[in-house]
Amino acid sequence: MVLFDWASRTQWLADVQNYASSLLTSKTVRRLQKQRPDCWSDNFDWLQPQDADSLFAELFYDHYSHIRCFHGARPLDVGSYLTDGILGQSSNTIEATFRKVFADLPKESLDRALDEFSDRKSSEQGKLWVLLEEKELVQHCGHYLIQGSEYVMALAASLCRIHRGEDYRLRLRDIGIPTIFEAHVPIDCFPDSQMISLTRSVLSGWGQFVTGNDLGFNSSPCLVLYRDIEPALIAGHTHPARIRDPHFGFSQYSNPKVKCDHCV
Ligand SMILES: [Zn+2]
């Protein structure tokens, strides 16, 4: 397995120069260092030949076999993830959790909230989102760890309007345990569009490094899978103690559950 690890930026920048040397020749490097163009990830006029980004993607696929990924969640049962894998979004599971957590509210209110999101139910079915940098989940997207899936959060937020009384989103903080799963996912599990986006980011990052012309390239790509991640691909999990809370001005959320029965 040759793992691509976005967080090891120094390493993958050095690797580019090796596995893509047939495309990114020393002559090309000298030209880029002299001209210092803006090395965008959505416009490769700065590189020759015209299809350099596609050629680079092929070299990337030849070199790496897997992508290091992180998935943030607030599972009710960490063990089920380790047994069944990280499953793509299931509206049935989310709906069951929603009905259980808000069982004390009128059924009509719950039905109405679910009806309002029927489009989302079908458009997100089976999808799974991963980030390539663990710290992103703690610093910028902490809501997945603090309150669970965006879908159930949206349902709870909708209830606040349908059945006034409390901020129902806060109830989601009383169930489950904030968890980051690490998985090493084979490249061919990702849709082509996702890998094209990633390899363009890598190539752009390399260009900015070589030219010293920094375009503010630092955010971790978010990739979408249209399939589950099997248990064998899960490399570990953690329960971060401190998480920045996007729903409260990025103040610090202290996680009271930093261990589960499956921690090693
Ligand atoms: Zn654990």
Q: Is residue 99 in some structural domain? A: no
**Higher pLDDT among residues 232 and 121, named by residue:** 232
Pick the range with the lowest mean pLDDT from 31-35, 214-218, 227-231.
214-218
Structure tokens at 178: 């904030």
pLDDT at residue 218 tops 70: no
222 CA distance to ligand 1 centroid (A)?
24
Q: pLDDT for 10-30, tens place per residue?
A: 999 999 999 999 999 999 999
Q: pLDDT for 125-181, tens place per residue?
A: 899 999 999 999 999 999 999 999 888 999 999 999 999 889 999 999 999 999 999
DSSP code of residue 161:
H
Mean pLDDT of the chain: 94
For the four alpha carbons of 189, 192, 198 and 199, in that order, the dihedral sign comes to positive
133 CA distance to ligand 1 centroid (A)?
19
Q: Cα–Cα distance between 111 and 92 in angstroms, integer?
A: 13
Q: Is residue 254 in some structural domain? A: yes
Beta strand 242-245 with 251-254 is antiparallel
Q: What are the start-end ranges of the H helices in 149-223?
A: 150-162, 192-211
243 CA distance to ligand 1 centroid (A)?
16
Where in the sequence is the domain holding 237, given as residue range(s)?
1-87+127-148+179-264
Strand pairing partners for 238?
180
Q: Is residue 207 in some structural domain? A: yes
Q: Is residue 72 in some structural domain? A: yes
Domain count, the chain: 1
Q: Is residue 163 in some structural domain? A: no
For residue 207, how far is the Cα from the chain centroid?
A: 24
Is-contact 71 133, C-beta < 8 A?
Answer: no
186 CA distance to ligand 1 centroid (A)?
24
Query: Half-sphere exposure of 51 toward its Cβ, with a 13 Å CA cutoff?
Result: 5
116 CA distance to ligand 1 centroid (A)?
35
Q: Provide the pLDDT for residue 141.
A: 92
Q: Is residue 100 in some structural domain? A: no
pLDDT at residue 217 tops 80: no
78 CA distance to ligand 1 centroid (A)?
7
